[in-house]
Structures are given as C-alpha cells and as structure tokens.
C-alpha cells in the first residue's frame, strides 16, 4: 500500500486539520468531527446538515459554505458519523428556523441521523430530513435496505441549499430536497477496487480484464462483472440503467463523477459519450459537472448522475455557491 498519510489511524483527523488550514471560511472541530460555516448560525435561516463516512471527499465537508451546506459531520473512513456528531453539527448551525438533515440511504447513516434528530427535538430544535436513494444499480446491498444514496446527494445539497440561502422556510426547503432526490438517478462502474488505509489492501479483487457494473461508493458489489470495454460501451451500460428507471426527457443536469483515481481526461471522454447518448434519446444536457465529487478513496471508475430539471430547479442550481469544492457566481 502506498498512501500519502502519516498514520492509518489518524487520516481523518489529519485531513480535517488540513481542511481547516486551507479554508479559513470554515470552522473545524477535529475532536468532535464537525465542519461548519464560520458565519453560522445565521438567525432566521434554515440550516442544512449532512454527513457520512469519510473517504468520499469532497463529499460532504467540501460542500460546506454559502449556498450549500451549513455543516457536515464526517465519520471515520466508510463509517457513519455517530449521533453525537450529528447533534453537535445541528446545534452549531441552528439559527432558529429549523435544520434540514440530508441523509444518504445507508443503514448506519439513517439510524444515527434519526437518533440525533430525536435528541435535537428534545432540545427544542426543529429538524426535518430527506433521504437520498438515487442508485439504480441494486435494490439492497451490504450497507442498505433499498437503494443506495450516491451522486444525487450533491444535487440535493446544492439546490435545497440555494433555496435555504434565499430565506425559504424549513417545509419548503424539505419539499425541494425531496423533489430533487425523486428526480435523480445514478449508476457507477469500477475499474479497480479501493484501498482503505486501515486495511492496507484492496477491498475486493477485480481482474485487470474486468469491471464491476453498479459498484457502490464503499466498494459494495454491483449488478455483475463484465469484460473491460470502451468508454462508449461502459457509458451506454450506465445510461441504459438510468434511462430504464427514469426515462430521459427534456432538460437534464448531468454529472460524470470520478471515483477518486480516474484521470480527468478519461472523465471527459466518458462525458462525451454520455452527452451523445442523451442527445440520441431526444433530451438535452442543460447543466453539467465533470470531476471528482463523490469518491471512493483511490478507486478507478466513474458514476453518472442525472436529474430532470425544470425552470425552478435550474435557477436554484445556477444560484451563487461558495464552498471549497463547488463555487460560482460569487
């Protein structure tokens, strides 16, 4: 194993220390495992809080800032944050208008966020939640009951975050977050496994001549394995799965996301094939992202996330955002 780390047991704490040093607009409590906006809490503003296991950077802490999340609580690598982390994050950013928890559909995340919401309610904090379950690859997996939450989490955080920044009440921000989740679908493909530092070896074996179709962001098995093929063919497999679950039509927000170890040049090769596929179905890529946003440590591979846009969603996507890993218009 070759990793740019000090010690396998301190990776998350060391990374949070670096995040704090690099981004003075954030506040970071390394010991508590909480990242939040320096201007929080803001009186009268609905706050957005999300979190999950580390190893998916920049999700979630990289999306804390203006127009997106107010706080994030990163757990240990591929491990859900504990309820105390979620409570601490929620309390740090509660401005009196309520807090929206954005939860990826993994059993540990769901359980710990639900318990944290109950504890916050006892303290008089109004908490609502939205569950993101956009992965069409499998119905159940090692970490979930139902579909997994993956790339659409970013879409929910950005669009609902823009609405909250504009002063919308908790009920409206929650409705919008749910709408984005319902209109989004994802599918991922792995070319290699990832290596968790504490394990010191790849999570699973994948021969050089094969790929894993429908991989999860923790290295969970997908639908099947298949021979390594061209970017065009692999993009078509992913898009067939997405289109088969939510037919492509109208204006779309499309993200081609790297899993952590795939060069950007290859992601653009994949995006060209995705755009051609969508155009061939009579739909249009109206907004797009290409890069590493929801990763799986050093895994080579990519995922595709598609959201059906309308005028309101497009305006909220275009609204200014300023975070370490997503920024425009400000």
Angle at 209 between CA 208 and CA 215, to 5 degrees: 80
pLDDT at 130: 98
- When pLDDT is cut at 50, 70 and 90, the band that residue 219 belongs to is confident
- When pLDDT is cut at 50, 70 and 90, the band that residue 139 belongs to is confident
User: Distance (Å, rounded) from C-alpha 101 to C-alpha 259?
Assistant: 24
Q: Evaluate whether 94 touches 125 at the Cβ level (below 8 Å).
A: yes
- Asked whether the predicted pLDDT for residue 220 surpasses 90, the reply is no
Model pLDDT for residues 145-155, shown as the tens digit of each residue: 789 999 999 99
pLDDT at 183: 98
pLDDT at 295: 98
Q: Evaluate whether 191 touches 228 at the Cβ level (below 8 Å).
A: yes
Catalytic residue numbers read: 56, 218
What's the pTM value of the predicted model, to 2 decimals?
0.97
How many Cβ atoms from other residues are within 10 Å of residue 114's Cβ?
Answer: 16
**DSSP secondary structure code for residue 150 in this structure:** -
Average pLDDT over residues 186-214: 95
Helix axis angle, 311-318 relative to 152-165, nearest 10°? 80
- When pLDDT is cut at 50, 70 and 90, the band that residue 143 belongs to is low
Strands 210-213 and 327-328, sheet pairing:
unpaired
Query: Is 329 exposed, middle or buried (CB count within 10 Å of its CB: 0-12, 13-18, 19+)?
Result: exposed
Average pLDDT over residues 123-147: 89
pLDDT at 117: 98
Q: Evaluate whether 304 touches 246 at the Cβ level (below 8 Å).
A: no
pLDDT at 303: 98
- Asked whether the predicted pLDDT for residue 254 surpasses 70, the reply is yes
pLDDT at 225: 96
- Asked whether the predicted pLDDT for residue 140 surpasses 80, the reply is no
């Amino acid at each position: 194993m070759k990793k740019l780390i000090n010690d396998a047991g301190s990776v998350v704490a060391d990374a949070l220390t670096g995040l704090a040093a690099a981004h003075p607009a954030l506040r970071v409590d390394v010991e508590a495992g909480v990242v939040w906006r320096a201007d929080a809490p803001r009186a009268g503003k609905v706050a957005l809080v999300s979190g999950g296991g580390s190893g998916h950077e920049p999700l979630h802490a990289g999306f804390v800032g203006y127009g997106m999340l107010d706080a994030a609580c990163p757990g240990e690598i591929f491990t859900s944050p504990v309820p105390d982390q979620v409570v601490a994050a929620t309390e740090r950013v509660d401005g009196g208008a309520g807090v929206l928890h954005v939860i990826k559909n993994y059993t540990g995340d769901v359980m710990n966020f639900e318990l944290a919401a109950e504890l916050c309610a006892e303290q008089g904090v109004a908490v609502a939640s939205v569950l993101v379950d956009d992965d069409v690859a499998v119905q159940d997996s090692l970490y979930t009951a139902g579909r997994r939450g993956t790339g659409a989490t970013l879409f929910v955080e950005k669009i609902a975050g823009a609405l909250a920044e504009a002063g919308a009440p908790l009920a409206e921000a929650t409705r919008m977050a749910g709408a984005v989740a319902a209109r989004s679908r994802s599918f991922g493909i792995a070319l290699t496994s990832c290596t968790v530092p504490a394990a010191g070896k790849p999570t699973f074996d994948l021969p050089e001549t094969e790929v894993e179709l429908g991989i999860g962001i923790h290295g969970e098995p997908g639908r099947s394995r298949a021979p390594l093929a061209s970017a065009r063919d692999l993009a078509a497999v992913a898009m067939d799965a997405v289109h088969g679950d939510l037919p492509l039509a109208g204006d779309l927000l499309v993200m081609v996301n790297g899993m952590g170890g795939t060069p950007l040049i290859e992601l653009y090769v994949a995006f060209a094939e995705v755009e051609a596929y969508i155009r061939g179905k009579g739909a249009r890529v109206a907004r797009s992202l290409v890069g590493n946003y929801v990763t799986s440590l050093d895994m080579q591979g990519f995922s595709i996330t598609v959201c059906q846009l309308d005028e309101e969603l497009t305006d909220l996507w275009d609204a200014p955002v300023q975070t370490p890993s997503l920024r425009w218009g400000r």
